[in-house]
Chains A and B, each alone.
Chain A
Amino acid sequence: MKLHCRSVQKALESFHEGTLPVERAGDMQAHLSQCPACRSAGYRQGLRNMLRVAAAAPVPEPPASFVARLQAAVGAACVPKPAPALAELLARAGLRLAPAMAAVALLVSFSGAWLTAPPGEAPVIVPAEELLLDDHPLSTDLMLAAMHGETIER
């Protein structure tokens, strides 16, 4: 059966997932072997399949001598110590924390004033980041908006 490039490229995902009927998959394969534009699309869409096949390849085991080498390296290292308690860390930091605490207090007071300001008549919008995390379909505009921390109308 003669296939059009558009329909072949649309069906590539199903082709790679193996969900197409055998006959249709055979036609697709024949078309891909002849059409350069569809081959290019096939390589692009086939990346996931390629990674899947690569992931199935066995990783070699480390040799037995490696375990001995590892044990020797650990044996030569300093013995680890338990982490110091929070109180001890604070005592060590001492007065060095004071300027940082003052800066934090100042920031909190500023943000409090901003948060309690009367709201304007803002349109109903959400941060682009939220849409991305909600598994919203990806688009270039959405990605760019999220990267720049912008908001977008839902």
Chain B
Amino acid sequence: MAADDCTLVHNVLNGNRQAFDVLAGRYMPRIFQLAYRFFNSRQQAEDIVQDILLQAYQSLGTYSRERPFISWLTTIAVRRCYRELRLRSKRSETALPELSGRERECVDQCCLHAPARIEDPETSLIARDITARLLGALSPREQMVLTLRDVEGLSLRETAGMMGISQLHVKVISHRARKHARDVLATMMLGNAPRTRFQEKRS
């Protein structure tokens, strides 16, 4: 029978390094998926995941049994990804990305067609790339909240806990992030399209 997380942590703290390999093997795919969502690049996700697992290994002594191990590890991952997003946003000013013909078709399919027509795996891959570029136009905090809430599907409480901010703050940021992302998407597709009075009232 596979050892539970607490036993493995206990074994690592008693000098059994191999026990950490078991823990890492168990949760690395989940952390990799999360990092990939933020950076949309396998190489960058690998580098970040390595940092995250090293940090988790070195601070394993602070892990409390009252909390699920995956939740503790995801919190470390979220905060590490946030630091990286902040560093990147300071380094570069990203211009709004140009979309190719196929990408514009994909946005049209997602936004102007009924959802039943979007089951094509190629469309979802293109949508993922466009979303990554769209999120790149937002602030690191907005990227973080929108990805955790709307892409990863985490609850308000989980997002707040992982980012170390209040639920109210998450709510305010996600409201702002969605508005900002909508504007970016409309601008990417239509240029500086004027908004009707009805749209202004609804947003």
Chain B residues within 8 Å of chain A by Cβ, number: 70
State whether A59 touches B32 (Cβ < 8 A): yes
| A33 sits at the interface (CB 8 A) | yes
Q: How far is the CA of A141 from the CA of B45 in the complex (A)?
A: 40
Q: How far is the CA of A48 from the CA of B181 in the complex (A)?
A: 10
Q: Which of A15-23, A92-100, A106-114, A115-123 contacts B (4 or more CB under 8 A)?
A: A15-23
Q: How far is the CA of A46 from the CA of B36 in the complex (A)?
A: 23
Q: How far is the CA of A52 from the CA of B131 in the complex (A)?
A: 10
Kindly identify which residue among A41, A62, A80 contacts B196, using a CB–CB cutoff of 8 Å.
A41
Chain A residues within 8 Å of chain B by Cβ, number: 60
CB distance from B136 to the nearest CB of A (A): 13
State whether B127 touches A29 (Cβ < 8 A): no
Q: Tell me if B's interface is mostly helix, strand, loop or mixed.
A: helix
Kindly identify which residue among B46, B111, B195, B198 contacts A42, using a CB–CB cutoff of 8 Å.
B111
What does the 1/0 interface line of A123-153 toward B look like (CB < 8 Å)? 0000001001100001000010011000000
Q: How far is the CA of A25 from the CA of B62 in the complex (A)?
A: 54
| A3 sits at the interface (CB 8 A) | no
Q: Closest A residue to B15 by CB, please name it.
A: A79
Please report which residues of chain A, range 5-42, place their CB below 8 angstroms from some CB of chain B when the two chains form the complex.
5-6, 9, 15-18, 20, 25, 29, 32-33, 36-37, 39-42
State whether B198 touches A49 (Cβ < 8 A): no
Q: Which chain B positions have C-beta within 8 A of A74?
A: 17, 20-21, 24, 53-54, 57
State whether B61 touches A50 (Cβ < 8 A): no
Q: Which chain B positions have C-beta within 8 A of A6?
A: 198
- 16 more A-B residue pairs beyond the given contacts A51-B146, A82-B61, with a C-beta to C-beta distance below 8 A: A5-B198, A15-B114, A16-B114, A18-B114, A18-B116, A37-B196, A40-B195, A43-B189, A46-B110, A50-B107, A52-B115, A57-B127, A60-B36, A66-B46, A74-B20, A77-B57
Give the A-binding residues of B (Cβ under 8 A).
Answer: 12-13, 15, 17, 20-21, 24-25, 28-29, 32-33, 36-37, 42, 45-46, 49-50, 53-54, 57-62, 107, 110-116, 118, 121, 123-125, 127-128, 130-131, 146, 150-153, 167-168, 171-172, 175, 178, 181-183, 185-186, 189-190, 193-196, 198-199, 202-203
29 A-B interface contacts by CB (under 8 A):
A5-B196, A16-B115, A29-B112, A29-B113, A32-B112, A36-B190, A39-B112, A39-B189, A40-B194, A44-B183, A45-B111, A46-B107, A47-B178, A50-B107, A50-B110, A51-B146, A55-B152, A57-B125, A62-B28, A66-B46, A69-B50, A70-B28, A73-B53, A74-B24, A78-B58, A79-B17, A129-B168, A133-B171, A138-B175
